[in-house]
Chain A
């Protein structure tokens, strides 16, 4: 484990990504207790304040502390994105592995269908599903998970197929190993690494997708402190105070950059041959 960490920290991407993601995790776990103000309390006299000792990042159109709202909102934004990605990845992995395992006609039909589904832009797909289920955070989660599944299925399948062709799998077959041993012990450890990398990078897409859904009014609903929603609400007041708009935007970008960098760092660190 320590050796793995060392490998991860060796690349700048890995190091910066890890620091950013750890920071985000701290905020997600301890955010509510770290928040200096009540994120919901309205202070009509303290609206549109700039940065100050009392309000680190200023206040918004209702006089709420932006910093506190960001700390609270991390849970909604990041937790949901991670969950949706994990669910989507698992679903995709099952479909992809099954397809690779079945092979032949079944594989081709499944993959062509996946291709067909992927011709619907994932944002549009998510919009349709949220609209079908009703606008809420939980439904947005389901929507993003479903939108991610086809892409992950494609990646899992191609990784599984390339591992399947390796001689160590042939050796296991020729040795008469059971199918479950071949899949679990020979293939999975080699398939999982690239999937984790892909999943990490996709968390950043999920964060953006969630924020976009909320922005379009189809995810979290006011007065939630979801970051995308904060940007959306700030639009009307942005010429009064740019801070309301800028800080949640930076928060979204930092999380996305963090997971992107971490994914690229993991790609190098998880390669056993370097």
Chain B
């Protein structure tokens, strides 16, 4: 800072700590609730210090699931696996499809190149939420309901990733492509052996964002899957909370919330540097 103002610096720390406490407090309460016995979470005030049921609750949830009519019987590991498969296919699929499309748009001249570019741009303007019913119908007609293909393929087109790669390819020196061509490398070899390694940071940044995007999908899996076998963990939680006539089994539901947050939060925190870069750059 430009001047020394100990009081202002102190205030800054104070505001930040307060901010962190407010942001993290719900997680603490949730975690604490997930370590108690159901009967301790029946009356207010609920405890604010972890209990003794941590291992027991998480074990029950992961391997047996909840006993309730709509989400019942599906162990959480199953939902976590579904979420993981969905997130990985979406993230890797988006990156792959966008990478090759951006390569074609930047490194080739072909008829309707700009038209292709604009069609890809249009996907930005058509989020699932505005075309729910007809998209559902298309997927149903293709027989993709209740399948991993139906869960992931419609989400794989990505304008943001294509734009990010395009921007990046435009900054790669032309000499590289020329040198590769003189040395006899074809376009596919150039893409694989030169462009791909150069794009490492962009790939990592996009992976973090797309993995989080995929893991956190809600509306789409909600429409796509009626079979419990394909429940994802984010949808599963909704079913655990909204039970008719009885109280939700709060400790187990809260354990599910913690487990549902863990993978995307871990990815974001472990890859924080790339994540922030990716976030700021994809939105440019």
Are A and B part of the same complex?
A: no
Chain A residues within 8 Å of B, Cβ to Cβ:
none
